Amino acid sequence: MAHREPPEHPVLQDILAKKLSDWELIEELGIYIVGFDRARYGESEPNPSRSLRSEASDIAELANALELGPRFYLIGFSLGGHAVWASIKYIPDRIAGAAMMAPVINYRWPGFPRHLSEEAYRKQQPGDQRALRVAYYAPWLLHWWMKQSWLPSSTVIKGTTHLPNRLDAQVREYAMKNSGMFEERRKLATQQGMLESFYRDMMVMFGKWEFDPMDLSQPPFPVHLWHGDEDGLVSVTLQRYICSRLSWINYHELKETGHYLGGVQSLVDVVLKTLLVVSVSA
């Protein structure tokens, strides 16, 4: 592997320093962490019939293959939050505790008051609104739609969404303009094509769900959710509503914080300690 000098950008240097601290805690607690590529991401096999149920099934199957034991902890960030919701619904007996960090929201979950979800939906750029509408009403058209330069497209995918939080904006600017990190990571993740990876995720996340998370009963394990009050990608207003409906979710709102929670000082430490120390001793 070629040697790569650490970035000179102060924001990225600070984040790397925090990552080293996170690894120290992981070693201290003796944690075994598994990160996996969902279907057709990286080198994972495709699943054209991917669904919420299949996401939970994949997680359970992976845990069995790696012999992680009868129960394990689950953490989902951003778009990966739908896999946590699915696991709460379909494999609650396998989960010891769950954490969601800025999980993406489906604006069409029936539990939302219509005026609240529509208000949050309309705050998006027109291209993002159109892309989500296609993912819901005509998922078979999504891949074609995203390839048409003359059609309004998603600013999230293009990396041009307005980010009100300063740290979010700095991290994205560095990743996209200075190091090629954004494109490098995207190419690695979607090496089998955007259709079966990211667009298939959009179809599941923003399509017609098999259940409404706000109808879920309290699971037999603790669930925590962290969200920044300056998140420019996922509505904090809707996140607050979800957690007000599901009183069993331990909601942690972070002040002056955006979407990229991995860059928040000591947050990974807090998440791990909350799941593995506080929840166990409670």
What pLDDT, on a 0 to 100 scale, did the predictor assign at position 9? 45
At 46 the pLDDT is 78
Q: Does some domain include residue 129?
A: no
In a domain, residue 88? The reply is yes
Q: What pLDDT score was predicted for residue 39?
A: 79
Residue 265 falls within a domain, yes or no?
A: yes
Query: For residue range 237-259, what is the model confidence (pLDDT) as tens digits?
Result: 999 999 999 999 999 999 999 99
CATH of the domain at 63: 3.40.50.1820
132-183 tens-digit pLDDT: 999 999 999 988 888 888 888 788 877 788 899 998 888 888 777 765 666 7
Structure tokens, 159: 């990396």
Give the least confident one: 9-13, 84-88, 126-130, 210-214.
9-13
Average pLDDT, the chain: 85
Spatial separation of the C-alpha atoms in residues 117 and 105, rounded to whole Å = 10
Q: Let me know: does 116 contact 238? Beta carbons within 8 Å.
A: yes
Cα torsion 138, 139, 141, 143 to 10°: value is: 160
d(CA 47, CA 200): 9
The segment with the largest mean pLDDT, out of 5-9, 237-241, 260-264, 274-278, is: 237-241
Sheet of strand 249-254: strand arrangement: 72-77, 95-101, 223-228, 249-254
Is 127 part of a structural domain of the chain? no
pLDDT in tens, 203-229: 999 999 999 999 999 999 999 999 999
Task: List the domain range (segments joined by +) for residue 86.
Answer: 31-112+163-278
Phi, psi of 212 (to 5 degrees): -105, 120
Residue 92 lies in a domain: yes
Would 151 be classed as within a structural domain?
A: no
Task: Work out how many domains the chain is built from and give that number.
Answer: 1
DSSP code per residue over the chain: ----PPP--HHHHHHHHHHHHHHHHHHHHT------PPTTSTTPPP-TT--HHHHHHHHHHHHHHTT--S-EEEEEEGGGHHHHHHHHHH-GGGEEEEEEES----TT-TTS-HHHHHHHHHTS-HHHHHHHHHHHH-GGGHHHHHH-TTS---HHHHT-----SHHHHHHHHIIIIIS-HHHHHHHHHTTT-TIIIIIHHHHHHHS--SS-GGGPPPPSS-EEEEEETT-SSS-HHHHHHHHHH-TTEEEEEETT--S-GGGSTTHHHHHHHIIIIIHHH-
Q: Per the domain annotation, does 261 fall within a domain? A: yes
Within a domain: 197: yes
Give CA–CA dist 210/56, Å, rounded. 13
Nearest CA to 105 out of 94, 116, 96, 90 is that of 116
